[in-house]
Amino acid sequence: MLKREIRKNVMMMGAVDWDRRLFDSLIPLPDGTSYNAYLVTGKDKTVLLDTVDPAMTGVLMDQLQEIDKIDYLVSHHAEQDHSGSIPAVLEKHPQCRVVCTPKCRDMLMDHLGVDSDRFITVEDGDTMDLGGGYQLKFIHTPWVHWPETMCTYLEKERILFSCDFFGSHLATTDMYVTDPGRVYEAAKRYYAEIMMPFRKVITRNLDKVEALDIDIIAPSHGPMYGDPQFIIDAYREWVDPMPKNQVVIPYVSMHGSTEMMVKHLISALAQRGISVSLFELSSTDIGKLAIALVDAGTLILGAPTVHVGVHPLAHYGAYLANILRPKIRFASVVGSYGWNSNAVEQVAGLIPWLKVEILDPVICKGRPEEEDFQALDRLADQVLDAHKKSGIIREMQKV
């Protein structure tokens, strides 16, 4: 990967990680990822914005070989896929100072052992003059997706360096978005997996961004946006508090009974005009599940019983939904047990962060019988009624 010119004196650097398939030992990366860094050269000062994952430090250092002096290194976010190569850059450029938020300074000292005298901290709205008309403006964007994050705006070229904000895990040689559909899905996956729990504060950060005159959004993962409104509009849709007329059903079935119940419920919901996304938890891509949760109005967990408790995979599905905090309004449980079960109570206890109304669960002993299928039909009626009363279906009809 070679450095490439975005505008005069503004370079795109970093590394494409074609082969990485897991992030944080948790998040699937079906399309790999990139770690984008940027270099801005003013008349008086040169600034590197972010670095790369430690595994790719050599790539970045090769790109910087011809750069005699880096005066400042802007760290937007302390997570190591952006900050991990900071020590190598500071070692080569002993005069360089790290520019970041006060919280980011503390985290970089903790995580990377950077000495306290190497920092310059900036407040929201502070600026830095690089000479020759190049000025950086620092915009605090906390909880996108850590508490210390910020963006940088290059006023002369109207470029927003947004770090994780608006990012997408996508390995590509394209500098800019060339396939909007592919990037939309990758960016939605990225939002769902790491941004969704903070959607309320992201709404306020979107207001800050939209107040700027932006020609290019340059994130730290994935291609840049030559049409910034494309991704801003997508984020506005995703953070909108009104969900859609959709039900997400993550499930696992040990001997087929829970699967029979789930398949019947899908048909019942479809007959009532409700869209359903189904995920079999023993094999599903959790990123796909997270994407579906972005818009869903209702979550229904298919959970058989192991001994007297929830199947571990169903437990995981509920826990995942809880930590992602989607805007769902309603939840329920369907499942089968052998001799005894407290699955309903356990599932309710696994989703305390979801402010949802619990609809009537359907739990049967052994193989479902006619009365169980009738109960599933009633649950489908409940979902329809709940979506109507909450305005979800009305909002869908406006689209």
Q: What is the pLDDT of residues 236-280, one digit of tens each?
A: 999 999 999 999 999 999 999 999 999 999 999 999 999 999 999
Omega before residue 387 within 30° of 0, cis: no
In a domain, 399, yes or no: no
| pLDDT score, position 309 | 78
**Same domain as 319, residue 217:** no
Each residue of 136-172: b (16+ CB within 10 Å) or e?
A: bbbbbbbbbbbebbbbbbbebbebbbbbbbbbbbbbb
| pLDDT score, position 341 | 62
**Same domain as 162, residue 105:** yes
DSSP state of 211: T
**Same domain as 170, residue 21:** yes
**Same domain as 53, residue 21:** yes
In a domain, 84, yes or no: yes
Domain boundary among 213, 239, 265: 239
Provide, rounded to the nearest whole percent, the portion of the chain with pLDDT above 90. 90
**Same domain as 296, residue 202:** no
**Residue 207: burial class (beta carbons within 10 Å; 0-12, 13-18, 19+):** exposed
**Residue 378: burial class (beta carbons within 10 Å; 0-12, 13-18, 19+):** middle
Question: Which CATH number covers residue 86?
Answer: 3.60.15.10
pTM for this predicted structure: 0.94
| pLDDT score, position 339 | 63
8 A C-beta contact, residue 53 and residue 84: yes
Q: Which is more confidently placed, 395 or 316?
A: 316
21-38 pLDDT, tens digit per residue, is 999 888 999 999 999 999
Question: Which CATH number covers residue 345?
Answer: 3.40.50.360
Give the residue numbers spanning the domain of 157: 4-239
Least trusted range by pLDDT, from 52-61, 205-214, 241-250, 301-310: 301-310
Domain boundary among 207, 239, 271: 239
When the pLDDT of each residue in the chain is averaged and rounded to a whole number, the result is: 95
| pLDDT score, position 305 | 86
The pairing of strands 10-17 and 4-7 is antiparallel
**Same domain as 208, residue 75:** yes
Residues 337, 368: Cα–Cα separation, whole Å? 10
**Same domain as 15, residue 103:** yes
| pLDDT score, position 396 | 44
In a domain, 395, yes or no: no
Closest among 293, 322, 162 to 278, alpha carbons compared: 293
In a domain, 398, yes or no: no
89-131 pLDDT, tens digit per residue, is 999 999 999 999 999 999 999 999 999 999 999 999 999 999 9
Each residue of 277-305: b (16+ CB within 10 Å) or e?
A: bbbebeebebbbbbbbbbbbbbbbbbbbb
* DSSP-based three-state secondary structure for 49: strand
Q: What is the tally of structural domains in the chain?
A: 2
**Kind and range of the H or E run holding 111:** helix 102-112
* DSSP-based three-state secondary structure for 324: helix
**Same domain as 197, residue 294:** no
| pLDDT score, position 345 | 75
In a domain, 41, yes or no: yes
**Same domain as 140, residue 85:** yes
The pairing of strands 305-306 and 22-23 is unpaired
**Same domain as 334, residue 218:** no
Q: What are the two backbone dihedrals, phi and then psi, of residue 177, each rounded to the nearest 5 degrees?
A: -65, 120
| pLDDT score, position 353 | 87
Sign of the alpha-carbon torsion through 68, 71, 76, 78: positive
